Amino acid sequence: MKKVKNLIIGAGVSGLTFANYCGDNYLICEKENEVGGYCRTIQRSGYVWDYAGHFFHFKTEEFKNKFLSKMKKKDIIYNEKCTKILYKNRLIDFPFQTNIHQLDKEEFIDCLYDLFTKTEKKEYSNFLEMLYGKFGKSIVEKFLKPYNEKLYAVDLSKLDVNAMGRFFPYADKEAIIKNMKNKSVNSYNNTFFYPKKGAGSFIKILYDNLDKNKILLNTSINSIDLKNKTAILSDGNIIVYENLINTIPLNKFLELLGGYKKLINEMSYNKVLVFNLGFDKPSPLCKKEHWLYIPDKKDNYYRVGFYNNILKEEKLSMYIEIGFSKNDIINKRIIDKQFKLTLSNLEKDGIINKKTKLVDYMSIVMDPAYVHINTITLKKIEKLKEEFKLNNIYTIGRYGAWTYNSMEDSMISAKELAENLL
């Protein structure tokens, strides 16, 4: 039996950040054979692929410097975001609601008319109702509803009004009209950094600061005894901990603890199937775009990204994101079917053509991917977290805390917790 002050479950960005700030007395258990969690990079056949595009839009100087000071300038690309919506065979600027003037005249008039005649409420009871109230029928039904239904794979009236927090590009009538003449920049992620060797390079910096003897790879936590503060690892070892820091998805952590079936069933989220695709030549359509939003339900993907445009390289290198609901099974048969659909849709959409040859590809399933924010469930989770604290259990990170945030947000809260526990 080994004793440790901080036992950390998971070596993603949250677990690694916690370990960077908690002093020397820690042990990380990671079930995979490498660190990084969802923020990992794979280099294959000359392509650099993340587990779906992972970009850092730093809001704090501290974390920006933590990474940038350890890398050579030439190894980092700083981009002003170039994102579009593929709408009826045309590329229009994102977000849809502030760029309706780029639509055909009739559709533009519909959007404008509905924007001015919509019935606003003081308070909305759910996300979909809020969209109709703030933007009117046409903007909602042409983009906001189909796109978000594809992404979240859920009935949008089941989501909280604030389901996307600061990640939702709100705009009032005035801003929409002003944007027709003067393009405004009001997005949370208008610029981003990207290391030439992929987002995983930032993770390596967090990892390099740590004592490798205190990171057990290929090791999961099999069970936890809250009363005796012990955890049994997959290699059979028993660890006695003072603090347990969980970063694995909360639903899976509750399964480990046992006895939370009702809450686990209630917790709603989507899964995302990602394809990384490497082709032999540039895209005939997308020469500079970093990623595209795709609201058309005839397309299986909701978002596609272009690593080669981000890295300023020639050969088309893409990530494709496809939303599934919590209960969908994503097995080999489904992956193969989605793969074929993806290639034929990319051709239909003009992103590739008959001459574009696929060189290499891979698929990844992100489960969970986006937590569905719902106030009733979140209240129960918050109460549970308070109870956990009484047992020195802290559940952090986007999935551990069961929230919608960025990697930097997770790093900030992991650091704060580590410093508090010191």
Ligand X SMILES: Cc1cc2nc3c(=O)[nH]c(=O)nc-3n(C[C@H](O)[C@H](O)[C@H](O)COP(=O)(O)OP(=O)(O)OC[C@H]3O[C@@H](n4cnc5c(N)ncnc54)[C@H](O)[C@@H]3O)c2cc1C
Query: Which residues make up the interface to ligand X (CB under 6 A)?
Result: 9-15, 29-32, 37-39, 52-55, 220-221, 247-248, 252, 272, 321, 366, 369, 397-400, 406-407, 410
Residue closer to ligand X, measured from CB, 111 or 231: 231
- Cβ partners under 8 Å of residue 246, min gap 6: 9, 10, 253, 393, 394, 395, 396, 400
Residue closer to ligand X, measured from CB, 131 or 221: 221
Task: Name the one residue in this structure whose structure tokens are 């890398």.
Answer: 71
Residue closer to ligand X, measured from CB, 100 or 401: 401
Residue closer to ligand X, measured from CB, 47 or 207: 207
**Minimum distance from residue 221 beta carbon to ligand X (Å):** 5
**Minimum distance from residue 188 beta carbon to ligand X (Å):** 10
Residue closer to ligand X, measured from CB, 232 or 421: 232
Which residue pairs, CB below 8 angstroms and at least 24 apart, start in 215-218? 215/11, 215/19, 215/27, 215/28, 215/30, 215/35, 216/27, 216/28, 216/29, 216/30, 217/11, 217/30, 217/32, 217/33, 217/34, 217/35, 218/30, 218/31, 218/32, 218/33
The b/e string for 340-370 (b: 16+ C-beta within 10 A; e otherwise) is eebbebbeebebbeeebeebebebbebbbbb
Contact 393, 244 (CB under 8 A): yes
Contact 156, 128 (CB under 8 A): yes
**Minimum distance from residue 159 beta carbon to ligand X (Å):** 16
**Minimum distance from residue 2 beta carbon to ligand X (Å):** 16
Residue closer to ligand X, measured from CB, 10 or 136: 10
**Minimum distance from residue 343 beta carbon to ligand X (Å):** 20
**Minimum distance from residue 272 beta carbon to ligand X (Å):** 5
**Minimum distance from residue 255 beta carbon to ligand X (Å):** 9
Residue closer to ligand X, measured from CB, 251 or 410: 410
Distance CA 102, CA 100 (A): 5
